[in-house]
Structure 1
Amino acid sequence: MSEDLAPATTAAGTTDLRERAEAALRALVGRDDARLREDQWTAVEALVAHRRRALVVERTGWGKSAVYFVATALLRAGAAGRPPAGPTVIVSPLLALMRDQIAAAARAGIRAVTINSANVTEWGQVHAAIAAGEVDVLLCSPERLNNPAFRDEVLPRLAASAGLVVVDEAHCISDWGHDFRPDYRRIRTLLGDLPEGIPVLATTATANARVSADVAEQLGVGRHEEGVLVLRGSLDRPSLHLGVLALPDQPSRVAWLSGQLGRWSGSGIVYTLTVAAAQGVAEQLREAGHEVRAYTGQTDTAEREQLEADLKENRVKALVATSALGMGFDKPDLAFVVHLGAPSSPIAYYQQVGRAGRGVDRADVVLLPGAEDQDIWDYFGSMAFPPEGSVRETLTALAEGGTMSTARLETQVDLRRNRLETMLKVLDVDGAVRRVRGGWESTGTQWVYDAERYARVAETRTAEQQAMVDYQRLPAGGCRMAYLRAQLDDPDLTDGWRCGRCDLCGGLALEADVDADAVRQARAALDRPGIEISARRQWPTGMDAIGLDLKGKIGDAERAETGRALARLDGLGWSVPLRALLEPAHESAPGEHSVDDGARPVDSGRSADGAAGQAAGGRDGLLPTSLRQPVAEVLRDWAPALRRGDGSSGVDGVVMIASAGRPQLVEHLAKGVAHLLGAPLVGAVGPDPDRPAGRHDVNSAQRLAGVQRRLRPELSDAALAGLPGRTVVLVDDFTDSGWTLTVAARLLRRAGAAAVYPFTLAQR
């Protein structure tokens, strides 16, 4: 034992330190009877007295945040015979958690501030407060670690002066974790650069043995002879009553949920797998009289804060949410969590249900799996690290072109924006590229494509998906909590243990009967057709780099009007038959990315968003009879908005977008639209047969380039002569990026059309 640790390790010193630690805990939680758990004290002592690195894997609600706030209070005040330490730096991916923790810290007299994407205007003030020594805790998002100014100017000062570094939700470090985030990999570099003697704490509630070992190994970088202290506790949640209920379809699931909400006391969370599902289910439940709201990655930050407050204060019965409302949301009396569709792994599921029952004796947790779940998981899998050819193409573009923004780089490689950004973050951490002001640059460092590693990760994901299916199919005599604890390698789980609380152990009875009228109402809501299609208003950046003079805003005289579609492809109701019609079987999944960033499934059957391409999937033929009536309903509801001031029809003609993939379907649809609107079908906008079809799995700029170079008007001389001043409805089977409709509308507007209104069967 080194001499400078001796004062903290005497019996008197240890007693004094624990008394001070528990006094800090009482101030933090506002209770005079608060005491540290033994593992909490072990972690605090290791951090404060011995300046060690520790990994704490404990269930949600155990008190992991208390460990680092108590340690911060002691370190800042001076403890264990040492002078006052610098501020604590907490890396957390969770805005909700940051807001809660700043409030908790303030109650204990700890001055906490945050730097994240939601408070950009405050960054200057925060940096000044840190420099002035006025900050005890800085919470920052992992994305900040990759910001050039923060990484090069702020982070080195923090690393040199920090009193404690905390990595919250540490499973995100590991690419074996269910929620791996590339930005978190930079933490390894941060830890390796820390001066000797700065303690480090990593915390998570969702790490099995493989992930724990990986995280501990990454924590141990540098000179740490004592190794990493790993504390793993029981993951049983005595308040949770788990159950699975298989119902025949989505209307039945929504109807069951609507009936059940009135029986539960308190409030809760209803999780869905897609943005469209969250919005649609919330609307249905409100129509049924329930006070619920949708919460997704597309929800504005200010509105998110309000929705979180509404749930905490029980002003809403439930938030219908995607995974955007996950780790870090703190409501101890959350009474229920329902999943309409299963997450892709038991570990991810355990993390989400862990929001419930933290401060109450009982919380019901119900999974209502859907037939579409596997398709959504497959879509998530399609977002894996790109193939080597795409990576090499990116590295070559940067090496030859110098510094490039992501938008300009998009024009050089065939990757969608979200996959490109994820790949660049990984390459940055690996040292092959570097993020700088103005974009990205090549470092010239040789880079090796680790195909074996990526394959192992993919295999792990497949195994986790099967484990989630197995959870749903546990036989009588099994135990759902025991299964989840086993999946997380709970060290306290014993053979034959049963929770006594789940639907298999007799602690939860789920009634499968659903009111027939409620099912009919839910189905009618799902069957209501019609959504708006918003016109593109801005060209992508950097189109001049690929020889196209398209930049800035799309002028009013060249832009499409707001259009209509029958439904979204990633939704429910009419989305189901539309997916069957338009998508190949292996790409039929709707989807929302795990970080909820607007990622979408890849195209199918069309190149460049509908500009006539190869028939990669779906089927051609006449519009199915089942879809004709809803199309007519959408057009009937839309018609008043298209009328002229004198009440006459405002549509002078219909133009279709010719398709090589589904020519019969598009022509039949266009003729039907023309008939219902009482206007002639005057021609088409179609592909130049001398130009090859572009790829369908490319980014926005590349898709626009393919469409712009290939599309041309196919109208007779008489139709072109009669076009000026006319209003046109532009018909296509579906729209994804929107560039086909944008370019086609621009062609028609430049030929003289006064207005162009798009109409499609579906929108991605």
Structure 2
Amino acid sequence: MSVTAGTMEDMTETTSRDTTTAAEHRHAGGLRARADELLRGLAGDGASLREDQWAAIEALVVQRRRALVVQRTGWGKSAVYFIAAALLREQGFGPTVIVSPLLALMRNQVAAAERAGVRAATVNSANVTEWDDVHAAVREGRIDVLLVSPERLNNPDFRDSILPALAADAGLVVVDEAHCVSDWGHDFRPDYRRIRTLVGELGTDVPVLATTATANDRVVADVAAQLGVGGGETLVLRGSLDRESLHLSVTTIDDAARRTAWLARTLYELPGSGIVYALTVSAAEDLAETLTAAGHTVAAYTGRTEATEREGLEQALLDNEVKALVATSALGMGFDKPDLGFVVHVGAPSSPIAYYQQVGRAGRATERAEVLLLPGPEDRRIWEYFSSVAFPPEATVRSVLDALETDRAQSTAALEPLVDLGRTRLEMVLKVLDVDGAVRRVRGGWIATGAPWEYDDTRYGRLDEARRAEQQAMLDYIATDECRMVFLRRQLDDPDVAADPDAARCGRCDNCTNTHRGVEVADSDVERTRAQLDRPGVLLSPRKQWPTGLGKLGVSLSGRISDGPEPGRVVGRLSDLGWGARLRPLLDGPDRPLTDDPADAQLMRAVVEVLAAWDWARRPTSVLAVESATHPRLSASLGQRVAALGRMRDLGVLRRRPDHPPVSAANSALRVAGLVDAFEVPALEDLDGPVLLVDALADTGWTLTYAAHEVLRAGADAVLPFALASVR
């Protein structure tokens, strides 16, 4: 269905134009046949374009216009831009540039492009070592579609060397998940606002397409206005957002242990494989561990998961090798498993629009998919935390501007001690100031431009009000007795719901069918789950893949890690509410180390409890401490005491070479490269049994992974990593 929002008549129009010529009609007829042929390559022999899909393709290829497509997940938005890209390329136009927000989405898009006969490549943070080759392929015409992350748009080298040529030669520009462009959207990203500048620099005859499944009237108006920069009107195509396969329900269980036990039981009843969403990384990891202990094959998937590991986990879910991925919002936009059987939320997202986007992953090619929401009393506190780290007040932002210089670049790390902001918020402020023109990213960091800048207090106030309204709407969704699908579609200003809400009732949700799930669960299951959640000890998942691009750094490691550590343990995470409060003063002060004293009696009791509860296949027979760069006494004494308590052989300390520079790189490939030859590894051929590899703190996990790799090469037959704490 093709409709135009009534509030947008000044900037949109319907799918036909009075100025279309007879020649254009004849040309379009031939292109339509070719477009259907390309679609069959994408979707199979029986596929044919919907009329509104063709309307979008025709607008881009024949009329060379700008279009915004707001359609439900599974409608076929990617088919529109890949077919348009192929048609434009066949006519001799330049490559298509797709701005895409997530690596998972990029991977799916590249696979789809190949099915359409389109040569695609990506430029993102996970393939840094391949950028030069990709750029050369674009210049030489060997690439039809280049997918870039929004952050690349302001990478100095890409922005100054590659982007101008792309903007001049592009046959089409696509903005996927376009709600990210608007700060009214549920997933606003400052880097996306740079697309406005990119679009403004394009010629008026370069078509632009924006796509999303989650945009209400306000977001649609904002995105359409930004796409209209540079002249011309934006065509808006909106359709019904109903998803006929989704069966929505809400079950409220306030006690966290009982809720988790209920989920562990219910997971057996859910069809196929799916996604269990959690609000925080720690919650996702705790849930994954608890569900695993209950007998389910699940894995955690969060923002902490390395890019190469994410790809393996996504494939495991696609191949039904796991019952579920327990994920944060890191697994969302763009993940494409048509037969995904269920989506469960343990904790409610703060926005019904974000919720609709996530549940839209399920049931794209199945008759029925279960969508369960398990809200908790802690949800509001988590919402409040995320709200508290939104754009800071004016005085704080001004302090960032005051700390910057106009003639000397300063890195984020150099700026951090000068302003009262953590690294993540500081980077967000810098990006917003960059988009606003007050700062500029250059080689080596950031500089102030000297341009005047005004803090838009009114806009930020309205945004805060909008966020609070969304939170209340989510609470209303939980409590409502009306059709849940209608409720979500109304939040997205679905035109069909506005026309006739009664006719739009889904007839499938728990309210429509009056079938609500019971909350009963055996007390024994609850107590077992409670004991699992309350005990010290957190799984330390081993790295499974070496970073990509190590070969270009002179390191021969690649692919799956076959000679790394077994799954390990830590006493607790620094972010934990319980053990975190005890571990942070010891390990995570602003000027680490706060102390390098041995562990106290309380911490050692927890160490013993964690080691005693460790269900290792073979008990370790020796202990080796990794020399800590920040806590050498603590790690060495920990190794000695654990060896004595466990009556294991004390192998001493795995020393760092004194002439080897410390490893500080954030990039995984550079971090691993920096660990090569960093340790003085003793000969270990005479060992009998696994080695317990001990450290004070597990940060990225690469130090323990590479140290284990070296210890195994030196003669150990297995390595079990253990640390007092993990950062995440």
Could you tell me the TM-score, scaled by structure 2's length? 0.74
User: How many angstroms apart in 2 are the aligned matches of 1:142 and 1:297?
Assistant: 17
Q: Are residue 276 (structure 1) and residue 282 (structure 2) matched?
A: yes
Q: 1:191 and 2:199 equivalent?
A: yes
Equivalent position amino acid for 2:87 in 1 = L
Question: Is 1:40 the counterpart of 2:53 in the alignment?
Answer: yes
Q: Distance in 2 between matches of 1:326 and 1:436?
A: 31
Q: CA deviation at 1:32?
A: 1.6
Deviation sequence 1:583-638 (CA, Å, 0-9, x none): xxxxxxxxxxxxxxxxxxx99xx9959999xxxxxxxxxxxxxxx99984445556
Given the alignment, which residue of 228, 252, 255 partners 1:220?
A: 228
Match of 1:285 in 2: 291
1:482 pairs with 2:489: no
- Structure-2 change in CA distance of 1:101 and 1:8 (3 Å): farther
1:521 to 525, 528, 540: 528
Q: Indicate the SS of the match to 2:405.
A: helix
Whether 1:443 and 2:479 are equivalent positions in the alignment is no
**1:27-426 correspondence to structure 2 within 5 Å:** 27-29=41-43, 31-78=44-91, 84-224=92-232, 227-399=233-405, 402-426=408-432
Contact map agreement 1:112 1:138 (CA 8 A) in 2: yes
Distance 1:610 1:340 in 2: 35
The offset of 1:451, in angstroms, is 1.1
Q: 1:9 offset after TM fit, Å?
A: 3.2
Whole-Å separation in 1 of the counterparts to 2:243 and 2:403 = 51
Query: Are the aligned partners of 2:536 and 2:579 in contact in 1 as well (CA < 8 Å)?
Result: no
Larger Rg: 1
2:399 maps to a residue whose letter is E
- Kindly provide the CA deviation profile for residues 120-159 of structure 1, in whole angstroms up to 9, marking residues without a partner as x: 1111110111000111100000000010010011001001
For 2:255, the aligned partner's letter is: D
Q: Tell me which amino acid in the other structure corresponds to 1:96.
A: A
Structure 2 Cα separation of the partners of residues 399 and 474 of structure 1: 53
Q: What is the aligned partner in structure 1 of residue 547 from structure 2?
A: none
CA spacing shift, 1:472–1:223, aligned 2, 3 Å: same
Q: Does 1:21 align with 2:35?
A: yes
After superposition, the Cα gap between the structure-2 partners of 1:98 and 1:518, relative to the gap in structure 1 and judged at 3 Å, is same
Q: State the Cα distance separating 1:301 from its structure 2 match.
A: 1.1
Tell me, in whole angstroms, the C-alpha distance in 1 between the residues paired with 2:612 and 2:29.
79
Q: Deviations over 1:220-261 (max 9, x none)?
A: 00121xx10001100000000000000131211221111122
SS in 1 for 2:495: coil
Q: How far, CA to CA, are the matches of 1:202 and 1:470 in structure 2?
A: 31
Residue 167 of structure 1: how far off its partner (Å): 0.1
Post-superposition Cα deviations, 1:92-123, rounded to whole Å, max 9, x if no partner, equal: 01111111111111112110111001111111
Q: Distance in 1 between matches of 2:406 and 2:156?
A: 22
Going from structure 1 to structure 2, the CA distance change for 1:120 and 1:192 (only over 3 Å counts) comes to same
**Helix, strand or coil at the partner of 1:151:** helix
SS of aligned partner of 2:362: coil
**What is the aligned length?**
585
SS in 2 for 1:399: coil
Taking the aligned partners of 2:67 and 2:451, their CA distance within structure 1 comes to 33
The answer to whether the 8 A contact 1:92-1:140 is kept is: yes
Q: Which whole-Å CA distance do the structure 1 matches of 2:295 and 2:259 have between them?
A: 17
Alpha-carbon spacing, 1:312–1:636, altered in 2? closer, same or farther (3 Å): closer
Deviation per residue, 1:292-339 (Å, 9 max, x gap): 111111111111100000100101110001111010000000000000
Q: How far off is 1:15 after superposition? A: 2.4
- Structure 1 distance, partners of 2:99, 2:200, is 15
Asked if the contact 2:275/2:344 (under 8 Å) is kept, the reply is yes
Sequence identity (%): 61
One-letter code of the match for 1:424?
L
- Give the corresponding residue for 2:648: none
5+ residue gaps, structure 1: 79-83, 535-562, 583-601, 613-627, 651-672, 678-730, 738-756
User: 1: CA distance between counterparts of 2:406 and 2:131?
Assistant: 35
Say whether the 8 Å CA contact 2:353–2:491 is kept in structure 1.
yes
Letter in 1 for 2:350: S
Look up the SS of the partner of 1:492 in the other structure.
helix
In structure 2, do the counterparts of structure 1 residues 408 and 62 end up closer, same or farther at CA, with 3 Å as the change threshold?
Answer: same
C-alpha contact 1:394 1:413 (8 A) present in aligned 2: yes
Q: Distance in 2 between matches of 1:305 and 1:236?
A: 30
Per-residue deviation, 1:736: 12
Distance across 2 between alignment mates of 1:290 and 1:36: 41
Deviations 1:246-303 (A, max 9, x none): 0131211221111122222310000011111111111111111111111111111111
Structure 2: 5+ residue runs without aligned partners?
1-15, 542-567, 595-600, 615-620, 626-640, 646-695, 701-721
Deviation, structure 1 residue 421: 0.6
1:474-521 deviation digits (Å, cap 9, x = unpaired):
13xx11001000000000112223211001011754122112222121
Assess, with a 3 A threshold, how the Cα gap between structure 1 residues 8 and 107 changes in structure 2: closer, same or farther. farther
Amino acid at match of 2:65: R
Q: Deviations over 1:520-551 (max 9, x none)?
A: 211111121145999xxxxxxxxxxxxxxxxx
> C-alpha offsets along residues 394-440 of structure 1, whole Å, 9 cap, x if unaligned?
22222367211111112322211111111111111111111011111
- Match in the other structure for 1:598: none
Report the secondary structure of 1:262's partner residue. Answer: helix
1:565 and 1:377 mapped to 2: Cα distance? Answer: 28
Q: Which deviates more, 417-426 or 379-388?
A: 379-388
SS at match of 1:257: helix
Residue pair 2:277, 2:345 contacting (<8 A) in 1 also: yes
State the SS of the aligned residue for 1:145: helix
**Matches of 2:610 and 2:492, distance apart in 1:** 52
Judged with a 3 Å threshold, the aligned counterparts in structure 2 of structure 1 residues 638 and 521 are, in CA distance, closer, same or farther, namely closer
In structure 2, the residue corresponding to 1:411 is in which secondary structure? helix
* Partner of residue 9 from structure 1, selected from 21, 24, 29: 24
1:280 and 1:76 map into 2 onto residues whose CA distance is: 49
* Contact 2:571 2:723 survives alignment (8 Å): no
2:634 aligns with: none
Give the match's secondary structure for 2:305. Answer: coil
Equivalent pair of 1:177/1:207 in contact (CA under 8 Å): yes
Counterpart-to-counterpart distance in 1, 2:242 and 2:226? 27
Distance 1:320 1:151 in 2: 36
Q: Does the 8 Å CA contact 1:243/1:502 hold for their aligned counterparts?
A: yes
* Maintained 8 Å contact 1:266/1:317: yes
Partners in 2 of 1:177 and 1:485 — Cα distance? Answer: 15
**Equivalent-residue separation in structure 2 for 1:243 and 1:379 (angstroms):** 26
3-state SS of paired residue (2:67): strand
Structure-1 residue corresponding to 2:512: 505
Query: What amino acid sits opposite 2:231 in the alignment?
Result: R
Quick one: structure 1 residues 18 and 413, their matched pair in 2 at CA, closer, same or farther if it must change by over 3 Å? same
Contact 2:406/2:449 (CA < 8 Å) preserved in 1? Answer: no
Q: Are 1:609 and 1:736, in contact at CA under 8 Å, matched by a contact in 2?
A: no
What is the rounded CA distance, in whole Å, between the counterparts of 2:224 and 2:169 in structure 1?
Answer: 23
Q: Do residues 453 (structure 1) and 486 (structure 2) align?
A: no
Aligned equivalents of 2:155 and 2:574: distance in 1?
Answer: 35
Q: SS at the partner of 1:113?
A: strand
Aligned partner of residue 506 in structure 2, secondary structure: coil
